[in-house]
Chain A
Amino acid sequence: MSTLADAAWDLLARAAHEAQPIAGVAAEWAARFDGPLRVEVVGEPGSGRSTLVEALAGAPFETVGSGGDVRLRLVRRPDEVSGGDAVSTIVVLSRADELGGGRIGAVDGARAVAARHARGDVGEHCQAVVAVAALPAVGGLRLTRADATALSTLASKPEALLSVDRLTAHVGPELPAKLGVFGVRAAVELVRRGAAVPAGLIQLSGVPDLLAAVDAHFLARPAVLRARAALGALLPVVRGHPLAAEVERVLTSAHEPRELRLLAELDSGRVTFGERDGEARHLLGGLGTAPATRLALSGEPYQAYLRWHALTESPDHTHAQRCAAAVVARTCEALVAVGFVE
């Protein structure tokens, strides 16, 4: 259990004894405290929320429409993103096959766009940007025998793959509706290569990328994110109440969210310490939060602290790097002082 989670649990327990609506909100969030992480899927109508939720079925978290601990924010174009709580957000560049015009390489192109924006402005508002074409992933799992036949027919008719109208003319409307034009093209390609279609489509769809991102950024430390969400939900109802100051203090002083943020920035390449990135990841708990794991590449924590602290004043580093080094130094400090990070 993390220290932020402990503090949040304490505050929730105290808030549960207050008047309504504070008690109600506190009880509601306390009840969810030990359940699976709840991932909210948000976006404009038509952004592909339903399809994505279907693609995420069976994942080790719960997807919800609102009031989640963290969120997947679906956008059709990266320039739609502005604002938002970075630590609890992953931006999904949805319907990614369409972004590139449905060409075979469309999702790869979208992936490149996603990576570029993660390093740019969009990355300021989220932990990761992931391109996903959920429709082919979902459709691939629903292919029938007839669909399989249709796909092998299409393998010998490249002119039929030119447009949705031509596809419909050749194999009827179901298959293109199920996979999308990109999905059909990709599936035909898989058939040609003799590969398994559903698995191949899932691989191409970017859904595994999204699962990996959720895993890295949300599921590694769910308690921290849940505690933050609970306190975030409590904050508006305790406004003006003596508890408000404490809730705010715990929220702003917590160090673990800063570690998560910096890990994401190292991942996207927004920040780098060059060859020291590995040590930073370890220290920040990116490979496990046990003190021994954190210190695996660093050795003596006090020496590590001195090294990272020196970076915060180094003129050879950018402002962003010095700020990031300060976060790592703070982690080291905690490891020196109490043997774990709070």
Chain B
Amino acid sequence: MEAGSVRGTGPAFFTYPGEHGILKRVMTAPPWLGLLDDTIRACAAHQRHDLVDRLLDRRAGLLEPGRRVVVTGYPGKGKSHLVNALVGAEVCPVGTDLTTEVATVVRHAERPTPLVAAADSTTPRDVGLPRALLGAGLVLVDSPGFGAPGCPRTARALAALAEADAVLVVTDATGELTPLELELLTHVSRLCPTVLVALTKIDLVPGWRRVADADRGRLAEVGVSATLVPVSSVLRSAAVEAEDTELNRESGFADLIGVLRRDVLTDPARVAARAAAATSGLALEQLITPLRAEFDAGVAPTDTRALAEWQAAGRRVERLQRESARWQTQLADDVADLVSDLDFDLRERTRRILREVDDYFDAADPGKVWPEFTDWMHDSLTSVAEVNSGWLVQRFEWIAARVARKALPDADVVGSALLGELGARWQEDMRRPNIERFSPAQKVFVGLRGSYSGLLMSGLATTLAGLPLINPISLGAGAAFGARSVFEERGARLKRRQAVAKTAAQRHVDDFFLRYGKEAKDATRVVHRTLRDRCIEVAHSLREAAAESARTIKTELEAEAARRTSRLTEVRRDLERLLALRTRIEAAR
């Protein structure tokens, strides 16, 4: 049979060997069969093929005619002897040491089957005997005693238990039930609800009645409802041999058989139903436990890390938006401050030059010193322009850094780099007739500096070119005239020459002030605009990226939430179905 078709929940599900025989029974089937089949279907639907296999074995076992009573317990308690004593034949090996390695299944047979030793150390032995008790529908299973957890013998003991319709736990009167035995009893009663306890060796122990009472008390304590029957297999064997009814009564086996008839044989269907219910219940529990865990986990909030990331991304977008208005104002303010500081500085410096010019020409004769004066004036204005434009560069670098910090908070853009990029654009767009090429920011101002010197030279030259007064007059000649009149006349002419020089210088400086100032302001404006545009651009892309990442995270979160919700709905539906099935099973118990 093919796994796919069998494991499915479809109609082909129960196409396993023996189906027809079973289907015939199904017509008159007891209600537990439906429950068991529903459980098998549920296990298959939940991909628990291990459980399916186990339940199918169980189903086949329960549909067999006899009711299987598995005799179990710790070694040396007298399990094998008890089975022998029940059937009045030495069918199971009995001994002082560990003797039972494999299970022995004792069934009814018209003629005794020959006893054979166990084929191997795992397969149960089968024995047939003509006995009324067995004929009445009892199958007795002698099983190996429990040992250390996980050892092969323990595994075989558990395997025998897994097929039990009813369990007869054997303990002996030489001691009260130990914690291990009580644990076994609790386990057994969950596995299979029809449980009996045999207290063996009562022929041997003087205080067996006290032990029996104590054991009954312990059973009640751990909540196992099982009838405890004190027996002596030795007496029973002797009674069977001697056909001694009195001895048989003393052996307790009459009672034991009575209890077996009452609890197992009177209503075998009920025993099967209870076993089926317990098995189904345990299997269902294995399906329910993980589902319930998943359901409980599902109600908890979604992935907190993703949520936090999403919130952070949202906050970032908001902050970038807020900052963008703020930094633009600030940039404008900074540039306005810069312009006014620049203007003031330039004015101050030129004024200082003019004062010096005044002082100079109060004494000096322009006719004699003009060439030197022209050089001095050129040097002074050059230095003014250099200092002023150097300052401009510094301030812009500072402003750029500041605005970068504000506008592009998390972007790795430093101010100078911003200005660098700015220069590249400047280079393309902004060319001025008398301004050199602009490349990186500094060059803007270097060019500025270069341009002003030419302007200065030509300006000053033209200013003085048409002035006849400037013709130099020999001082020596003046001195030859001697006396006051000559001196005065000379003084008056000198004064006029000085005044003309001062005015020329004044006009030249003013001209410089105006032209250099305009160039500087233009440059400032361009730099400002470019800086702003560049920042807006970068900030915009930053904002876009942040918004995009927030959107992506949100979409993922929503998708995950949707997945969870639909899975949860599925889990809840499955759980409800399983719980309903469990309720039906509980009712059947």
Query: Which of B75, B97, B175, B250 has its CB near the most chain A CB atoms (within 10 A)?
Result: B97
Question: Which A residue sits closest to B94, measured CB to CB?
Answer: A101
Known A-B contacts A98-B174, A98-B201, A101-B201; A79 and B98 likewise in contact (beta carbons under 8 Å): yes
Of chain B, the residue at the smallest CB distance from A95 is B174
> Which residue of the partner chain A has the closest CB to B147?
A79
**Does B426 touch A at the CB level, under 8 Å?**
no
B206 touches A168 (CB 8 A): yes
The CA of A192 and the CA of B31, in the complex, are separated in Å by 65
Q: Which residues of B contact A46 (CB under 8 A)?
A: 175
- Which of B43-51, B106-114, B231-239 lies at the binding interface? B231-239
A165 CA to B203 CA, complexed, in Å: 7
A95 to B208, CA, bound (A): 16
Query: Does residue A110 face the partner (Cβ distance < 8 Å to B)?
Result: yes
Please judge, given known A-B contacts A101-B201, A168-B206, whether A163 and B232 are in contact too, CB under 8 Å.
yes
Contacts of B96 in A (CB 8 A): 99-101, 106, 109-110, 112-113
**Chain B window 228-250, contacts with chain A (Cβ cutoff 8 Å), 1 for yes, 0 for no:** 00001011001000000001001
Flag if A163 contacts B250 (CB, 8 Å): yes
Q: Of A13-21, A173-181, A237-245, A323-331, which stretch is located at the interface?
A: A173-181
Nearest chain B residue, comparing its CB with the CB of A47? B175
Q: How far is the CB of A120 from chain B (nearest CB, A)?
A: 10
Cβ of B283: which chain A residues have Cβ within 8 Å of it?
Answer: none
- State in angstroms the CA–CA spacing of A102 and B235 once bound together: 12
Interchain CA distance A98-B78 in the complex, whole Å:
11
Report if A162 contacts B (CB, 8 A). yes
A164 x B98 contact (CB < 8 A) = no
- For B147, the chain A residues whose CB sits under 8 A away are 79
Give chain B nearest CB distance to A184 CB in angstroms: 10
CA distance A78 to B238 in the complex (A): 29
A258 CB contacts on chain B under 8 angstroms: none
Q: Which residue of B lies closest to A102 (CB)?
A: B204
Evaluate contact between A162 and B208: CB separation under 8 angstroms: no
Please encode chain B, from 171 to 185, with 1 for each CB lying within 8 Å of some chain A CB and 0 for all others.
000110000000000
- Judge if B202 is at the interface, Cβ distance under 8 Å: yes
- Listed residue (B201, B204, B232, B235) with the most chain A CB atoms within 10 angstroms of its CB: B204
Assembled-state Cα–Cα distance A84/B75 (Å): 23
Q: Do A162 and B203 contact each other (CB < 8 Å), given the known contacts A95-B174, A110-B96, A113-B97?
A: yes
A77 adjacent to chain B (CB < 8 Å)? yes
Q: Specify which chain B residues have a CB less than 8 angstroms from the CB of A95 in the assembled complex.
A: 174
User: Of B97, B204, B238, B247, which contacts A164 at CB under 8 A?
Assistant: B204
A116 at the interface (CB under 8 A from B): yes
CB of A177 within 8 A of CB of B206, answer: yes
**B235 proximity list for chain A (CB < 8 A):** 162-163
* Bound Cα distance A112, B235 (Å): 25
Do A162 and B75 form a contact, CB below 8 Å, given A46-B175, A101-B204? no
Q: How many residues of B contact A (CB 8 A)?
A: 23
Answer yes or no: B76 CB below 8 A from chain A CBs: yes
**A101: which of B75, B208, B234 is its contact (CB, 8 Å)?**
B234
- A177 CB, min distance to chain B CBs, angstroms: 5
Q: Mark B461-504, 1 if CB is under 8 A from A, else 0.
A: 00000000000000000000000000000000000000000000
Q: How far is the CA of A98 from the CA of B175 in the complex (A)?
A: 11
Instruction: Give the nearest-CB partner of B239 in chain A.
Output: A162
- Among B81, B205, B247, which residue has its beta carbon within 8 angstroms of that of A162? B247
Residues of B within 8 A of A113 (CB): 96-97
Contacting residues of chain A (84-119) with chain B, CB-CB under 8 angstroms: 95, 98-102, 106, 109-110, 112-113, 116
Q: Could you say which of A79, A100, A163 contacts B75, with CB atoms under 8 Å apart? A: A79
Residues of the B chain whose Cβ atoms lie less than 8 Å from the Cβ of A112: 96
A103 to B219, CA, bound (A): 30
A116 to B98, CA, bound (A): 11
Tell whether, in the assembled complex, residue A165 and residue B250 are in contact, meaning their CB atoms are under 8 Å apart.
yes
**B172 nearest CB neighbor, chain A only:** A98
Contacts of B203 in A (CB 8 A): 102, 162-165, 181
Q: In the complex, which of the residues A79, A98, A110, A163 contacts B202, with contact meaning CB atoms closer than 8 Å? A: A163
User: A182 to B203, alpha carbons, bound, how many Å?
Assistant: 11
How far apart are the CA atoms of A173 and B206 in the complex, in Å?
A: 8
Q: Which residue of B lies closest to A101 (CB)?
A: B234
Complex CA–CA separation, A67 to B360 (angstroms): 119
Q: How far is the CA of A168 from the CA of B209 in the complex (A)?
A: 13
Instruction: Spell out B's residues near A (CB within 8 Å).
Output: 75-76, 78, 81, 96-98, 147, 174-175, 201-206, 208, 232, 234-235, 238, 247, 250
Closest 3 CB pairs of A and B: A163-B203, A109-B96, A102-B204
Q: A162-B203, A162-B234, A181-B206 are in contact. List 18 more A-B contacts (CB 8 A).
A: A76-B174, A95-B174, A99-B96, A100-B96, A101-B78, A101-B81, A101-B234, A113-B96, A116-B97, A162-B235, A163-B203, A163-B204, A163-B250, A164-B203, A166-B250, A177-B206, A180-B204, A181-B205
